[in-house]
Amino acid sequence: MPSSSHYDVIVIGAGPAGYIAAIRSAQLGFKTVCIDDWENNKKTPSPGGTFVNAGCISSMALLESSKIYHLLNNDISAHGIKVDNLEIDLSQMINRKDSIIASLNQQISHLFNRNKITSIHGQAKLLASGKVEVFEKYNNKKSNFTAEHIILATGSHSTVLPCAPIDDEFIIDSTQALKLTEVPKRLGIIGAGIIGLELAGIWNRLGSDVILLEAQESFLTSPDQQISDEAYQIFTNQGLDLRLGARVISAKKGSKKVILEYQDSEGNHTIHLDKLIAASGREPNTENLAAEDVDLVLDENGFVHVDKNCCTALPGVYAIGDLTALGPMLAHKGLEEGIFVAELIAEKHNPINYDIIPSVIYTSPEIAWVGQTEQALKAIGEHYKIGVFPFSASARSHASGKTEGLVKIITHAETDAILGVHIIGDQASELIAEAVLAMEFSASAEDLARTIHAHPSISEALHEAALALDNRALHI
């Protein structure tokens, strides 16, 4: 039992937004408690939220394993290396993923201890007048805690699809999709967005025949259209069966199969699958977040209503991360909001620039972008220029054998201000950081063009794309 029930700051949730809010609050001298109910299969606390325990980290760990397997099984001979009798030990692969998660859980717990943050494993509910009720799991006891400032950071969960009810055996969500004990021969995924594509890449490389069913007629509408078109071609060539305009009508368990019916422009279709993953988005975790007599305002989509400073309608109560519609549902967005709110409480105002938050899809190759797209600029009649450089013209990409994709830079036609940078290719998640930094400091494309990049390097593609804006690219 905690030694005190009164704190300066109470944080509900220990995902990226929550644990960072707690750490920064403690760094600023606030007496802080963080309450989180996530637990592993051993029923012990697992701080880190969905991001660490069942989302991006899990997905990235399995993607790395699947990429190694695919390389050894398909492309390693080009390097003069021969491998015989290659086998998958999926249980070991999952164990490696779980060990990474456990290590990060321990790291967060260590940071809490180091910063003297009280950590409580339990379920929290917001009460009136700066109070929080906590059901502590280790002793099955309810306790009340008070604070001048309460930060809500409970994250999100997979969207429930009435047409495909989860049974945790044949029809599963994205969390269960990262725990499979066998490689499905034929795998269906509802949703060809970020989550669906990341899962598809993993299991496709491990040997599944993957069918992605996307209700929208367009593929990947958030990135620049040229990048999306390139991605569609690459992923199709990799063997993914992408079916657009495919609206799932029903999915039910048959004889050790999933019988799925969907409709497209050509009519109704039925397919049989070994497993089906529902991966069509996420919704905020607001159920039972506040007592019935607490006027926590939600919008029509269930997000907590906040102002530009992440303040709710309740005095001293803030909401951050996936709980709000302020900015995209991304871990690094929530992380920055955690810092922002803690510093706001300390009267240190450092606003977040939501216009230049990078987005990443951890497929192979990766997709990353920041800023505006060409289609959005066309829609508003903006005058712009584009510079494109393909990785097929990069010496470093050839040496690594990863020549798919391109870099695209969009600038204002008159001022040369960088309006958007879009990348599909190896290490796109790392390359986008240079673009974000350039835009944060109002650099022009000419500044990128004048910056000396190491040769040969993958980052040269940004340099060449900047040169290409004025037909000065050197290697194409």
Q: Which domain CATH number covers 244?
A: 3.50.50.60
> Are 288 and 151 in the same domain?
yes
d(CA 437, CA 380): 25
**Under 8 Å between Cβ of 149 and 316:** yes
Q: Which of 256, 280, 304 is a domain's end point?
A: 280
Give 160's DSSP letter: P
Write down the catalytic residue from 332, 455, 463, 475. 455
> Are 432 and 374 in the same domain?
yes
**Under 8 Å between Cβ of 321 and 286:** no
Look at residues 432, 434, 361, 428 and name the one whose alpha carbon lies nearest to residue 60.
Answer: 361
> Are 21 and 116 in the same domain?
yes
Give the per-residue pLDDT at 254.
87
DSSP string, 110-153: HHHHHTT-EEEEEEEEE-STTEEEEEETTTTEEEEEEEEEEEE-
> Are 423 and 299 in the same domain?
no
Task: Give the predicted TM-score (pTM) of the model.
Answer: 0.95
> Are 48 and 152 in the same domain?
yes
> Are 93 and 203 in the same domain?
no
Q: Which of 227, 247, 280 is a domain's end point?
A: 280
Bridge partners (DSSP) of residue 156 are 284
Give the per-residue pLDDT at 138.
77
CATH number at residue 391: 3.30.390.30
d(CA 237, CA 248): 24
Asked if residue 162 is part of any domain, the answer here is: no
> Are 148 and 49 in the same domain?
yes
- SS3 assignment, position 297: coil
Q: How many CA atoms lie within 13 A of 235 on its CB side?
A: 36
Burial class, 298, CB count within 10 angstroms (exposed 0-12 / middle 13-18 / buried 19+) = middle
**Under 8 Å between Cβ of 323 and 154:** yes
- 156's enclosing H/E stretch is strand 156-158
Q: How far is CA 377 from CA 271, 295, 311, in A?
A: 40, 40, 32
Q: 455 catalytic, yes or no?
A: yes
Residue labelled with tokens 């508003």: 380
Full residue range of the structural domain in which residue 464 is found: 365-468
Number of domains in the chain: 3
> Are 191 and 271 in the same domain?
yes
For 108, residues 6+ apart whose C-beta sits below 8 A from its C-beta are 14, 19, 47, 48, 52
Give the per-residue pLDDT at 4.
64
- Mean pLDDT per 10-residue segment, the chain (476 residues): 79 98 98 95 90 93 95 92 92 96 96 97 91 88 94 95 94 94 97 96 97 97 97 98 97 93 96 96 94 93 95 96 95 97 93 95 97 97 98 96 97 97 98 98 96 96 97 93
Asked if residue 473 is part of any domain, the answer here is: no
